[in-house]
Amino acid sequence: MTVREFQEKHGIIGKSKEIRDLIDIVLQVAQSDISVLIQGESGTGKEVFARAIHEASRRANNKLVSVNCGAIPEGILESELFGHEKGAFTGAIESRKGYFEIADNGTLFLDEIGEMPLTTQVKFLRVLETREFMRIGGEKTHKVNIRIVAATNKDLKDEVAAKKFRNDLYFRLKAVTLNIPPLRERKEDISALIYHFLDNYSLNNNIPQISITPAAMDILVNYSWPGNVREVKNTIETAVALTRTGVLDEASFQMLLSDDKINEDNRFLPVHLRKSPDALDREMIYRALIEIKKDLIELKSMAFNNQHDEPKQDYGIHEVVPLSVMEKDAIINALNFSRGNKRKAAKLLGIGERTLYRKLKEYEIQ
């Protein structure tokens, strides 16, 4: 199988040398049972590569079980991984299999492995070496035949130096390591990702193909994309949802990107990433409101001028409207546009659903 065929089959988008080199490694190791460690920033596509490794392996007809070690509280992580016997602890009303048993004969993908507590790392290392473990509260040894693929957005060498990750586990995991570079280091992949997400959005939502201007594409290719592929996907989908023309231009992304290069003209309020989530939500609303107000002023000016032979002053441009009024109007407009779908309305406004519900209660919007 060629690299291109592999990419098409497994949904790996990119034409950079870095991506091609990674696929070469995957093709070499997929058929073996050797452990693989995938390193890369959040949003670079680590799970996509993990799935590709599984689907290209001899275990493809069995389960791929994905576990986010950082999303499971430390107190119950061992129970989730190894399972438990009835009565092992308060609330253990029946015996339960863990992820190791569930993934038997398949692949276990451990995302955010760097978040695994040291005490759990000791037991995990034993499973890697012996393929044996005991459930919590149990006395019987269980054997499993699994392949381990782990991923992290941390530098495990630094974690080892800081004594937050076991040295022996690190060396056991890194037998084969895939380092996925961030998008800012492989800009040639950005345009391919953009066209891919545009095509997918049109297909999934049964709408005509959305196009993008060269100037807008130039902005996107030169943007730093701190959120990597995940940010590209979210940005494109939001821009398409908000467009009224079917064409994405520079203005389509002015409010969606926070990079200083995008905001050189200072017409838009900056987003300070160190603020609290609620503060960021408010700033996003204000940014949207300012743009809505600017559009209304321009429309009013156009309508006024169309009714008179000679251009006259747009008296509305000096009108002062409280932000609370503008905010309430924007929320009502978004709800009308989304036909009452609060999730879509929140997405259109660029805020979280919880913030939207709070605003609905605050403004007594039914």
pLDDT of 11-44, one tens digit each? 899 999 999 999 999 999 999 999 999 999 999 9
Q: Is the pLDDT of residue 309 over 70?
A: no
pLDDT of 48-89, one tens digit each? 999 999 999 999 999 999 999 988 888 889 999 999 888 877
The average confidence (pLDDT) of the chain is: 83
Task: Tell me whether the CATH fold assigned to 183-268 matches the one assigned to 269-366.
Answer: no
Q: Does 183-268 carry CATH code 1.10.10.10?
A: no
Closest among 200, 63, 39 to 145, alpha carbons compared: 63
Per the CB < 8 A criterion, the answer to whether 26 and 52 are in contact is: yes
Pick the residue with more confidence: 282 or 189? 189
CATH superfamily of 269-366: Homeodomain-like (1.10.10.60)
pTM: 0.69
Quick one: pLDDT at residue 95?
87
pLDDT of 99-116, one tens digit each? 999 999 999 999 999 999
Pick the residue with more confidence: 125 or 338? 125
pLDDT of 216-236, one tens digit each? 999 999 999 999 999 999 999
Domain borders along the chain are 3-181, 183-268, 269-366
How does residue 300 score in pLDDT terms, banded at 50, 70 and 90? low
Pick the residue with more confidence: 340 or 263? 340
Terminal CA-to-CA distance of the chain, rounded, Å? 57
Quick one: pLDDT at residue 355?
84
Strand order in the sheet with 64-68: 64-68, 107-111, 147-152, 36-39, 176-179
Domain 3-181: which CATH class?
Answer: alpha beta
